[in-house]
Amino acid sequence: MSLDLDAIRADTDGLDVVHFNSAGSSLPPRPVIDAVVEYLQYEARVGGYEAAADRIEELDDFYDATASYLGCDPSEVAFCAGAGDAWWRAFSAIPLQAGDRILLSRSEYQANAFGFMQAEERGVELTLIPHDRQGMIDLDVLAAELDERVRIVSLTHVAMSNGAIQPAAAVGQLLADHPAIYLLDSCQAAGQIPLDVDELGCDFLVYTGRKWMRGPRATGVLYARSSVLDQLGPQPYIDGRSAEWLDTGGYELMPGARRFEYGEQFYAGRCGLAVATRYLLDLGAEHIAARTQALAARLREGLSSLPEVDVHDEGGPRGGAVTFTIRGEATPAIGATLRANGVVLSVPGRRNAQFDLGPRGLDAVIRAAPHYFNTADEIDRAIAVVATI
């Protein structure tokens, strides 16, 4: 099977510019837009509660579609308002006490880092695992740090600041016989590479809908392995969908991952993310990965050929995001100039990724993230614009 690029681009609005910001917020295909708008219109006609009851099969396809993508049971999937929301629901439910340890990677995003810093304030010890010479988490150091006090191992699957695809499955293998909970942030991985939670060996996995998944904003996924639920403590975020208020007093959490959900949620977005996931599955995640990585490799090679451009990507396998700077030019200004010339991308700063950009002495990078709907001509156009700068 090969991707029908003409059909894909016909499904995609916004291609009057070169859209290289799928690592930030991608362009949803027309079926996703139609699903969200039609659901909202139906709500306007019949009411929100009535729409949810009438359209339950469409809403619940979110769980089936996501389970098909992740290779898990639908009961292990929760709908959240984004990756950060999903991550905090998982992290907050893991019991921690003074003296416990968390091992984390250099690729952590700021939202996750804040959670770790708050845990450190309560006496939890943080250990930052370095990268090896290839820019990947050092598995030997990780293995050496795994002692009986390690409660959580956290990994960001693909860093938002350098594009490296971390060896998440190898980390899972190291943890197979260790009681630590493996928390995997696949926010920049979902939608651009295949994901299989059993192969990855993670206990929790989170991602957002708006990035490479091409889903609506304010949508996200929390995968929670059923066998890890008994290891969790009280959840600080529950309501009538998360738990049942018992006649005898007290409450009982809902079975499976639904304990992490709220009753009030973006129902139209849930339908939209289901459609986006089906769209991905129909195209084939492996075909999407191959095309996205080929386009990024073309961009990376072209930028590397320009004498004043420094490409800052690390790692062996690299995803669709390409990060670079131009010597002697202010990085935010470069992003604005590129946008003015019809090339849309993002400029992540050091405050977004202190563990990664800080040690490398980078205040910011330009991040160009082509996706499978982009073309080789658009890659060459972007390179030409950078060359003029």
Under 8 Å between Cβ of 158 and 321: yes
pLDDT of res. 1: 55
- How many C-alpha atoms does 252 have within 13 Å on its Cβ side? 7
Q: What confidence tens digit (pLDDT) does each residue in 59-111 have?
A: 999 999 999 999 999 999 999 999 999 999 999 999 999 999 999 998 888 88
**Cα radius of gyration (the chain):** 21
The sign of the torsion formed by the CA atoms of 38, 39, 45, 46 equals positive
Percentage of residues of the chain with pLDDT beyond 90: 85
pTM equals 0.96
Domains of the chain: 5-20+284-388 (3.90.1150.10), 30-282 (3.40.640.10)
Q: Is 354's pLDDT higher than 90? A: no
pLDDT of res. 110: 81
